[in-house]
Amino acid sequence: MATGTSAGTGAGTAKGTGTGRMRHVLSVLVQNQPGVLAHVSGMFASRGFNIDSLAVGETEDPHLSRISVVVMGDDRLLEQVRKQLEKIITVVKVVDISREDFVERDLMLIKIDAPPDRRAEIQGLVEIFRGRTVDVSPEQMMVEIAGQEKKIEAFIEAVRPYGIRELARTGRIALVRGSQAASVDVAPRLAEDPAPAVVGHSNL
């Protein structure tokens, strides 16, 4: 299960493969309780879906977290999975935002071999891609870069000849633009368990 891929601004149109399998971005709103993440990822595994990207974090409500999942799959089968996810008591709402007007982002930290005589070249690339150098050692640089999937991938390929020592990516996060936000009245679900025993996305 990969958690290190990302995309950027999207018009929300799922990308197809010509075989009926399409790229879906799911926004899963869940209660902050132990085991929720395992239940959600387990549901995809039981249906044979490989998760391309998964990112989780607290929302504006400390009792809720949002799990952003990117998967490739058939529309009909993914709709079945969505309905199964909504049956999990700690899942508040599942929205496939793939066809909405939404924004996606991915954050990457990358450590690059950067001897003094090549550092200026690498720094030039960092500036072109609007990244930020966050750490420098005698032989290496660590760069932070965020944005669209194609931007992240292009930067990786641009610096690959210099030598990549380590790379970490957050996975994609996404929100629907403007007033189209995939909001939901969560009161009914939260009323069933108004005070979760444990609060915090680290417990998922």
Q: Is residue 203 over pLDDT 70?
A: no
Q: Which domain holds residue 156?
A: 105-169
Q: Is residue 188 over pLDDT 70?
A: no
pLDDT (tens digit per residue) in 12-30? 444 444 445 788 888 999 9
User: 3 lies in a domain?
Assistant: no
Asked if 82 and 155 sit in the same domain, the reply is no
Q: Report the percent of the chain where pLDDT is more than 70.
A: 77
User: 1 lies in a domain?
Assistant: no
pLDDT (tens digit per residue) in 122-148? 999 999 999 999 999 999 999 999 998
SS (H, E, C) the chain: CCCCCCCCEECCCCCECCCCEEEEEEEEEEECCCCHHHHHHHHHHHCCCCEEEEEEEECCCCCEEEEEEEEEEEHHHHHHHHHHHHCCCCEEEEEECCCCCEEEEEEEEEEEECCCCCHHHHHHHHHHCCCEEEEECCCEEEEEEEECHHHHHHHHHHHHHHCEEEEEECCCEEEECHHHCCCCCCHHHHHHCCCCCCCCHHHC
Asked if 84 and 27 sit in the same domain, the reply is yes
Give the CATH number, domain containing residue 189.
3.30.70.260
User: 74 lies in a domain?
Assistant: yes
